[in-house]
Structure formats: structure tokens, C-alpha cells
């Protein structure tokens, strides 16, 4: 029998949020609502869609390989993040097929069998999957008050540690670690350990005490800051994200990166999306309004939740989350069970949020 490597066979595959089309096919229903994968309910900017159409209308361009270096997009990202105090050039940016791919590339660049990576628990499940896929060990440090325990995470670093992952904001809890605690953590982070600062939800953050990882990067620290076009920019289906780091780190990552890892359509769409500040603002405002509505409704129902710096809310139940999830599925509302008694719900359009609350309230009484 063909056998995979022991450390691969032990990995549990990632379970994505159920697609709407699958649910509707299975249950023979229509108009279901997906609030399971933290997508932007407004979808992409119209300018991004127009850019894709324009690109396709040139016909033969789709038959050519993409610009493997993603020149225009990397340039635009570099100038967007540069300011009077900090300069980043194109050599500080790497594009990925989603920021997810960059996590994987970084792990393969810096880790091997027997190494360790420190991460929070619960946090984004892909970190431990990526680490275990190279035969290395994921050291999971429990969250404290639903936030990364940066003190304990620093204590968990050993001479075997190659990478520390901090999702800030964290998924699934939606919380951030503040400037002051981040500063103390950075003082303890050894120079031969890479910090992966996963900022997939940065655009939604409103807390002013949110730390600026690019500042540490410009001071020469070994950080790979990851961001994405999948969330606030609404391009999850096109798979495009980016990393910001020191040129020498980007250089190493490029040795592992597939030559054409991001496609032409995602590059043109992301470039237009980046320039469409109006759409981003509308998306953020809608999310803030949605959160206000959901907080109020959840307060009225009397369930506990964690105030969120993202586009999703972590809700703590007194009931089994999988039973609730299945009961809500039958009513056409897809949420995400993320623990025995915890669910994660993406903030949707106003009518989707209302539908969630209405079904949640009803289902909660019977499960």
C-alpha cells in the first residue's frame, strides 16, 4: 500500500465553510445565507471587476503566463504602505496565492523535521497544518481571555523554535494584542526566530492600540507581515495575498515560491481593488454597522460573545455548537462551529444578519 509520511498522515485536512450551492443542492432549498468564511458581503469593488473584464477582453492575454513578479501590484502595495517615516520598495513585497500560500512558503523556507513553531490556540488552523507538513512541531499556547498570551508564547520559545505565528486580529476570536504587550514580546523574541504577523483582518481594526508591525520591520526585526485581498477587499475567490518583509527574507521566500503562483486576473483585480478606497470604506462601514446590530441582538438574546476587531463574531454558547450548526444549516443559515461550545459568525449584509438572528434565536430554544 502506498503510505504517506507519518507526520503527514496524522494531519487533519482543513474543513472549509460549506458552500451555499452545496447546501441548497442537498436540502433542495434556495436563498440560503453563508456567514461562515469571513468574506466581504459586498463582494469585490466594481473597479476590480471591470479590470478583470478589460483584461479578458484582450483575449490572447489570458493565454499567456502571468507576470511572475507581479510588478505593478507589488509596486502599488509598496507605495501604499510607505510613508514619511518608513520606506518600502518592491523588493520588500511578495505575492501569494492567498496569504495562506505565503504561510506555507515561509514554513518550508525556515523549518524542517524536529523544529518547532509557537502559535496560539485556538488560532488559524493552517499554521499547525503547515508546520506539521514539514515534520516540525506545532507548540500551541492557549489563549488568555480570548487573546494571544504573548507572555507565555515568549516563554515557549526554545532553541528549536524557528517561527512564531501571531494572528492579529486572531481568528476565530476576533481579538487583538495591543501595542504595549507586543512591544514586550518583541523584546523577548530572539533574532534567529521569524515572527509571522498575520494581519488578514487589519483593515477592520478600529482599536488605536493596535501595534504597527511595519515599524518593527523598518527597525530591522525579522518579521513577515501577511495581509490579504480575501477579506475587506472581497477577492477571496481569486486567491491573492501579500507578505511584507526585509528584502533578504523576501529573497529566501522567492527561492521556494512557484514562478507563476498568482494569476493575471487576481493581479489586475487586486491592483484596482487597492486603488478603490471608496469600496473599502463602504465595506468597513457596513461591517461596523453590522457588528453594532449583532451585538445588540445578541445582548437581547442573552448569549455571550467577544467584541470583535474583525468582520466576524465569536459566540460562546451553553450548548453543543455542532448541533446548533446542523440545525441552522437546515434553516439555510451557514455558520461555523469552531469549538465544542463556540461558533463564529461572519458579519453579513443587514438582511443576512437579521436572518441569522431570527434563525439563531429560534434554533437556540430547541437544540
Ligand X SMILES: Cc1ncc(COP(=O)(O)O)c(C=O)c1O
Task: List residues near ligand X by CB under 6 A.
Answer: 38, 98-100, 124, 167, 171, 198, 200, 228, 230, 236, 241
What is the gyration radius of the CA atoms in the chain, in angstroms? 21
SS3 assignment, position 230: coil
Output the smallest distance, CB 191 to ligand X, in A: 25
Helix axes 321-330, 20-27, angle to 10 degrees: 70
Cβ closest to ligand X, residue 122 vs residue 241: 241
* 124 vs 359, beta carbon nearer ligand X: 124
Nearer to ligand X, 110 or 204 (CB): 204
Minimum Å gap between C-beta 98 and ligand X is: 3
* β-bridge partners, 213: none
Place of cell 507581515: 225
Shortest spacing between CB 198 and ligand X, in angstroms: 5
Q: Which is nearer to ligand X, 228 or 287 (CB)?
A: 228
Alpha carbon 195 to its chain centroid, in Å, reads 16
Cα–Cα distance for residue pair 253/239, rounded to 1 Å: 18
Reported residue count of the chain is 367
Of 186, 203, 102, nearest to 151 by C-alpha is 186
- Please report how close the Cβ of residue 236 comes to ligand X at its closest, in angstroms: 6
Residue nearest ligand X by beta-carbon distance: 98
As measured in angstroms, the least distance from the Cβ of 63 to ligand X is 26
Distances (CA, A) of 51 to 48, 57, 86, 271: 5, 10, 30, 9
Among residues 126 and 134, whose Cβ is nearest to ligand X? 126
Amino acid at each position: 500500500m502506498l503510505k504517506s509520511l507519518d507526520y503527514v498522515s496524522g494531519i487533519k485536512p482543513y474543513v472549509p465553510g460549506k458552500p451555499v450551492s452545496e447546501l441548497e443542492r442537498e436540502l433542495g432549498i434556495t436563498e440560503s445565507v453563508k456567514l461562515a468564511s469571513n468574506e466581504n458581503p459586498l463582494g469585490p469593488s466594481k473597479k476590480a471587476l471591470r479590470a478583470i473584464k478589460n483584461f479578458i477582453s484582450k483575449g490572447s492575454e489570458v493565454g499567456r503566463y502571468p507576470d511572475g513578479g507581479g510588478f505593478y501590484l507589488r509596486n502599488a502595495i509598496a507605495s501604499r504602505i510607505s510613508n514619511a517615516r518608513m520606506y518600502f520598495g518592491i523588493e520588500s513585497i511578495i505575492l501569494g496565492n492567498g496569504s495562506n500560500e505565503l504561510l506555507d512558503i515561509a514554513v518550508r523556507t525556515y523549518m524542517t523535521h524536529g523544529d518547532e513553531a509557537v502559535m496560539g490556540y485556538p488560532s488559524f488552523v493552517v499554521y499547525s497544518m503547515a508546520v506539521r507538513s514539514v515534520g516540525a512541531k506545532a507548540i500551541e499556547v492557549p489563549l488568555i481571555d480570548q487573546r494571544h498570551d504573548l507572555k507565555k508564547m515568549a516563554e515557549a520559545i526554545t532553541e528549536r523554535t524557528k517561527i512564531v505565528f501571531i494572528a492579529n486580529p486572531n481568528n476565530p476570536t476576533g481579538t487583538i494584542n495591543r501595542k504595549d504587550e507586543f512591544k514586550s514580546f518583541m523584546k523577548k523574541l530572539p533574532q534567529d526566530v521569524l515572527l509571522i504577523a498575520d494581519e488578514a483582518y487589519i483593515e477592520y481594526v478600529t482599536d488605536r492600540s493596535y501595534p504597527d508591525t511595519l515599524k518593527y520591520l523598518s527597525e530591522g526585526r525579522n518579521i513577515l507581515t501577511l495581509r490579504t485581498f480575501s477579506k475587506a477587499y472581497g477577492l477571496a475567490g481569486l486567491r491573492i495575498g501579500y507578505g511584507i518583509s526585509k528584502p533578504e527574507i523576501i529573497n529566501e521566500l522567492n527561492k521556494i515560491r512557484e514562478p507563476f503562483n498568482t494569476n493575471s486576473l487576481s493581479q489586475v483585480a487586486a491592483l484596482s481593488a487597492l486603488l478603490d478606497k471608496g469600496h473599502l470604506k463602504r465595506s468597513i462601514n457596513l461591517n461596523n454597522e453590522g457588528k453594532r446590530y449583532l451585538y445588540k441582538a445578541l445582548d437581547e438574546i442573552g448569549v455571550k460573545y467577544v467584541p470583535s476587531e474583525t468582520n466576524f463574531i465569536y459566540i460562546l454558547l451553553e450548548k453543543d455548537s455542532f448541533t446548533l450548526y446542523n440545525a441552522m444549516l437546515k434553516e439555510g443559515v451557514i455558520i461555523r462551529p469552531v469549538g465544542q461550545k463556540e461558533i463564529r459568525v461572519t458579519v453579513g449584509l443587514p438582511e443576512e444578519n437579521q436572518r441569522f438572528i431570527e434563525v439563531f434565536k429560534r434554533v437556540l430554544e430547541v437544540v
